Structure 1
Amino acid sequence: MLGAITNFFDRMVRRYLPDAFLFAIILTFVVFILGMIFTGSSPVNMVEYWGGGFWGLLEFAMQMSLIVVTGYILANSPIVKKILGRISKLANSPGQAVLLVTLVASIACLINYGFGLVVGALLAIHVAKRVPSADYRLLMASAYSGFLLWHGGLSGSIPLSIATDNHMLIEEIGIVPVSETLFGGPNLFIVGTLLLTLPLLNRLLMKSARNVGQIDPELLNLQQKVMEIEEEEPETIKSVTPAERLENSRIISLLIGILGLAFVLYHFVSKGFDLNLNIVNFIFLFLGILFHGTPRRFLNSVSGAVKNAGGIIIQFPFYAGIMGMMTSSGLSEQLSMFFVNISNEVTLPWLSFISAGILNFFIPSGGGQWAIQGDIMMSAAMNLGADIPKTAIAVAWGDAWTNMIQPFWALPLLAIAGLKVRDIMGFCVMVLFFSFIPISIGLLLF
């Protein structure tokens, strides 16, 4: 039965799911129409809301792009790639390959989602070359399934946001430390359960993969070439001019890397465990500089990283426009209030998770969603006497949950893999259905 269901969704997705960019355009028209139907906004109003919001997430878009770029740079460094090569040797069969890729990608996404997406894709390629009988599409779907855990990890934008002393709801809820969100009982249960069960689920899905043994060697070789960095030893590099000597200087990279890490140390000493998006990007950037050894190797990796962020850069304004329509028309507030009105102190976190999952289709950004839903859900939690940290983490899990069928964040992984979103999304639908169970248990019983 599992194989039949998986194959059904795989056929539907491969036949009808458009490119991720077209998906964003279709969502734009859907929200445009829904805004007129449910909020009474005129077409002129909706055009105004759309255009007015189009550039509203530039700062956040830059942060997200840098997450992907710096994560790629670090994951593509010689040290990390050597580690991935050694890890791939743990897989000697298709089943072991799927288990390994899922587990490593999940752990990496818990550390940082940009890093996890890239590490998962790179490891899947290493494993596919080692175990050519494994299904390439399922390996990449397994790598992407690890992304489900990101908002319950150290780069989760909502729990990190409300743990800072200047977040947008500081006057309403104060500072909510990560000890009550990321390291609270509900989140620990959900993360622990998914870490144990996701690899097993993907292993079961292997029976329904229809292209076993049909990995295109040329595709794998192409992706390997894309990831390759110029790694000439310093003594073989003919540095003729002072500029070329600087570009290939290990001392330059070492000095600037040490300076960057010195600031990171100062940041944590002076502000405690303040792991916000900017400091995460800062850490990954300067570790990448150090691990690549020379400025020239670092810049070569940057070139590949920027290509992977291209889809995010061009699509973010469209999602910002969708966000502008939903916010200014009141559509997002109506959606959130619908779930608030049927909630009590016990069910509010779970219903917040459901509403966030729906909203994530239109605004695939944890920070963007929180900007819309945060005030509504936190006010409801205070009025109903519900658990504030659990409600906040519930919104975070809603955002992460439907990423399994929202193609936006799969773009970096797919760019590395050389695949289309329709190649993996059929498997991800099954991950969506399965993960609903442990997330619901965690939010209702813990």
Structure 2
Amino acid sequence: MPTDVSTAAVTGKSLNDQQDTGESQGGLARLAYGFTQWAEKWFPDAFVFVILTTLVVTIADLAIGAAPLEIASGFGSGFWSLIPFTLQMAMVAITGYVVASSPPCTRLIAKLASVPASGPQAVAWVAFVSMGASYLNWALSLVLGGLLVRALARRVDLHMDYRAASAAAYLGLGSTWALGLSSSAAMLQANPLSLPKSISDISGVIPLSDTIFLWQSVVLYFALMIMSILVFYFAAPRGRHVKTAADMGVDVTSELTTDQKPTRPGDWFEFTPVLPILIVLLAVGYFWSQFAEKGLLATVSSLNNYNFFFLMLGLLLHRNIRSFLVAVSKAVPTATGVLIQFPFYGAIAAMLTHVVGSDGVSISHHLSALFVSIANGDTFPVVIGIYSAVLGFLVPSGGGKWIIEAPYVLQAAQDMQAHMGWAVQVYNAAEALPNLINPFWMLPLLGIVKLQARDIVGFTFTQLLFSAPVVMFLLWFFAQTLSP
């Protein structure tokens, strides 16, 4: 396929340079594609790993001498312990989708699509928008990024690689989301009403000022963003290596949102903007009172307030009840994994912390002792980071996995007198890394761009090769600047 002239002009490379660049990057892409083929053949659904983890913890409890009935009791009593948090995380996904698919956001996406002047620039631009949106809401970044990719694909002058751009739309969830306002672990630790007793007994409440609002965390976020944009700009295929949406068999002429009109008098209530505006005015009054009583930081630290804001914003942006409800119906499937898996995570957490062996000690205490024995104040961030990244590939859920890990990670941090808030951020930054190659959270995005995981994993795997060492180094480096 010939290279677009504007692409060559903007990038300052000749056609041969562009083709050589594509060839030099093909080795990594082929390696990642081979990994994806293996994963698609042998890797089961993420829910299987939840079941396997439950059984492994059961066996571990038996190994330390716990009574079978006590294990079963811990499983049952912990199963519904995360109901508030489960609903909160489901609403994060739903409200993010609703906002991104609203008509004003659709118009914003059209404006954003007019910015880049070449295919590689378009890929880098998608990465920037996705990671920027992820700081506010991880689901928003997926949907906004996916819709932006479709809008850019309609610009034939860009000659943009559709696979690379779709992979760039995933970077918000694959690199930076856990360092932002929708961080499951940080939000959980900052909300006493959502915090399980098994965790609060160890750490107590950890405010956002000690996690995502640490200057070290903010610098880490921007460092990852800059590096990711550069990686994707240079990794974007050029010249004959480009595969457009048409090449991938994807129709980008249709949109997810459609205009509807009333067909009967009774539809007036569903289509009038008056009712949404009145409800939003009530929400504005609520937030005004919250700001006056608790201040800005305490108000935004509440996960309920966070979801409430995005829900009201979605209602306002859709302007009528019918459009809002259509968006909600399309958004609900994005929360399927959260709804079915989080109860099992609650059960696993209880089995780790409340079930004790013959020596009167739980598995979480054994694990924290293990971390203390193999790590010290200097190596703790790297040890925990590597562990969280590896486990994150098996249990692809930031919030649910934190429920499992928090008891022994925070206990180990306390025993070594490490900064408790930075321990949360170590988890956050490292936990996002396996998302780059795990297809579980790709599903909402893939549904929008109409691709399969194997189409984009080659590019996200390339990003992982750069991100992993940088993240581990910065986690270690910034830990030296913090005191308990």
Task: Establish whether TM, by shorter chain, passes 0.5.
Answer: yes
CA–CA separation in structure 1 for the residues paired with 2:71 and 2:123: 46
Equivalent residue for 1:230? 259
Is it true that 1:161 corresponds to 2:188 in the alignment? yes
Question: Residue 72 of structure 1 is aligned with which of 86, 94, 97?
Answer: 97
Equivalent residue for 1:151? 178
> The residue matched to 2:447 in structure 1 has which SS?
helix
> The residue matched to 1:91 in structure 2 has which SS?
coil
1:413–1:316 Cα change, 3 Å: farther
Equivalent residue for 2:308? 282
Question: Residue 350 of structure 1 is aligned with which of 382, 405, 413?
Answer: 382
CA–CA separation in structure 2 for the residues paired with 1:283 and 1:349: 34
Alignment-mate amino acid for residue 159 of structure 2: S
Is it true that 1:197 corresponds to 2:220 in the alignment? no
Question: Residue 265 of structure 1 is aligned with which of 279, 285, 288?
Answer: 288
1:332–1:122 Cα change, 3 Å: farther
Question: Residue 418 of structure 2 is aligned with which of 373, 386, 389?
Answer: 386
Equivalent residue for 1:422? 454
Is it true that 1:63 corresponds to 2:92 in the alignment? no
CA deviation map 1:274-301 (0-9, x unaligned): 3232222111111111111111121122
How far the C-alpha of 1:9 sits from its partner, in A, is: 1.3
Equivalent residue for 1:440? 472
Equivalent residue for 2:128? 103
Equivalent residue for 2:166? 140
How far the C-alpha of 1:45 sits from its partner, in A, is: 8.4
CA deviation map 1:19-46 (0-9, x unaligned): 986243256347646864896389x889
Contact 1:336 1:373 in 2 (8 A): no
How far the C-alpha of 1:119 sits from its partner, in A, is: 1.1
Question: Residue 396 of structure 1 is aligned with which of 428, 444, 465?
Answer: 428
Equivalent residue for 1:253? 276
> The residue matched to 1:361 in structure 2 has which SS?
helix
Alignment-mate amino acid for residue 212 of structure 2: L
Is it true that 1:301 corresponds to 2:327 in the alignment? yes
CA–CA separation in structure 2 for the residues paired with 1:47 and 1:14: 38
1:105–1:209 Cα change, 3 Å: farther
Alignment-mate amino acid for residue 228 of structure 1: T
1:376–1:218 Cα change, 3 Å: closer
CA deviation map 1:216-239 (0-9, x unaligned): 3896436833x123254xxxx454
1:54–1:363 Cα change, 3 Å: farther
How far the C-alpha of 1:325 sits from its partner, in A, is: 7.1
Structure of higher CA gyration radius: 2
Once superposed, what is the RMSD of the aligned Cα atoms?
3.4
Runs of at least 5 residues in structure 1 that lack an aligned partner in the other structure: none
1:308–1:383 Cα change, 3 Å: closer
How far the C-alpha of 1:317 sits from its partner, in A, is: 5.5
1:210–1:191 Cα change, 3 Å: farther
Equivalent residue for 2:439? 407
CA–CA separation in structure 2 for the residues paired with 1:66 and 1:431: 29
How far the C-alpha of 1:56 sits from its partner, in A, is: 5.5
Is it true that 1:207 corresponds to 2:237 in the alignment? yes
Runs of at least 5 residues in structure 2 that lack an aligned partner in the other structure: 1-23, 357-361, 479-484
Equivalent residue for 1:181? 211
How far the C-alpha of 1:342 sits from its partner, in A, is: 1.0
CA–CA separation in structure 2 for the residues paired with 1:387 and 1:50: 30
Q: Which moved more, 1:215-224 or 1:336-345?
A: 215-224
Count how many residue pairs are aligned between Structure 1 and Structure 2.
439
Q: Which moved more, 1:168-177 or 1:352-361?
A: 168-177
1:91–1:110 Cα change, 3 Å: same
